[in-house]
Amino acid sequence: MTTLPNLRIDGARLWGELMETAAIGATQKGGICRLTLTDLDRQVRDWFKASAERLGCIVTIDSMGAMFARRPGRADVPPIAMGSHLDTQPTGGKFDGCLGVLAALEALRTLVEAGYETYAPIEMVNWTNEEGARFQPSMVASGVFAGAFEPDWASGRRDAAGTTFAEALEAIGYRGPQRCGEHPLSAFFELHIEQGPLLEAEDKTIGIVTGIQGIRWFEATVRGEDRHTGTTPMQLRKNALLGAARLVERVDAIARAHGPQAVGTVGRLEVRPNSPNVVPGEVFFTVDLRHPDTAVLDEMQSDWTAAGYAVTDELGLEVEIAKILDQPPVRFDADCIGCVREGARAMGFAAREIVSGAGHDAGYVSRVAPSAMIFVPCRDGISHNEAEYATPEHCAAGAQVLLQAVLGYDRLLQERAATRHA
Ligand SMILES: [Zn+2]
Query: Which pLDDT band holds residue 406 (cuts at 50, 70, 90)?
Result: very high
Query: Which pLDDT band holds residue 2 (cuts at 50, 70, 90)?
Result: low
CA of 161 to the centre of ligand 1 (A): 24
Q: Is residue 37 over pLDDT 90?
A: yes
Q: What does the alpha-carbon distance between residue 221 and residue 61 come to, in Å, rounded to a whole number?
A: 45
> Which residues lie at CB < 5 A from ion ligand 1?
96-97
C-alpha pair distances (Å), 60 with each of 70, 97, 175 = 8, 20, 10
Q: What does the alpha-carbon distance between residue 222 and residue 144 come to, in Å, rounded to a whole number?
A: 36
CA of 421 to the centre of ligand 1 (A): 40
Q: Is the peptide bond before 273 cis (omega within 30 degrees of 0)?
A: yes
**Interval 49-70: pLDDT, tens:** 999 999 999 999 999 999 999 9
Q: Is residue 325 over pLDDT 90?
A: no
CA of 96 to the centre of ligand 1 (A): 4
CA of 303 to the centre of ligand 1 (A): 32
CA of 82 to the centre of ligand 1 (A): 14
CA of 383 to the centre of ligand 1 (A): 9
> What mean pLDDT comes out for the span 329-351?
98
- Residue 239's contacts (CB-CB under 8 Å, 6 or more residues apart) are 224, 279, 280, 315, 317
CA of 404 to the centre of ligand 1 (A): 21
CA of 354 to the centre of ligand 1 (A): 16
Residue 62 phi, psi dihedral angles, 5° rounding = -100, 180
**Interval 301-314: pLDDT, tens:** 999 999 999 999 99
Q: Is residue 47 over pLDDT 70?
A: yes
CA of 372 to the centre of ligand 1 (A): 14
CA of 420 to the centre of ligand 1 (A): 38
Strand partners, 353: 208
Predicted TM-score (pTM) of the model is 0.89
CA of 88 to the centre of ligand 1 (A): 8
Say if residues 335 and 413 touch (Cβ distance below 8 Å): no
Vertex 88 angle, CA 189 and 175, to 5°: 75
**Interval 233-253: pLDDT, tens:** 999 999 999 999 999 999 999
SS (H, E, C) 141-166: HHHHHCCCCCHHHHHCCECCCCCEHH
CA of 171 to the centre of ligand 1 (A): 24
Q: What does the alpha-carbon distance between residue 304 and residue 320 come to, in Å, rounded to a whole number?
A: 13
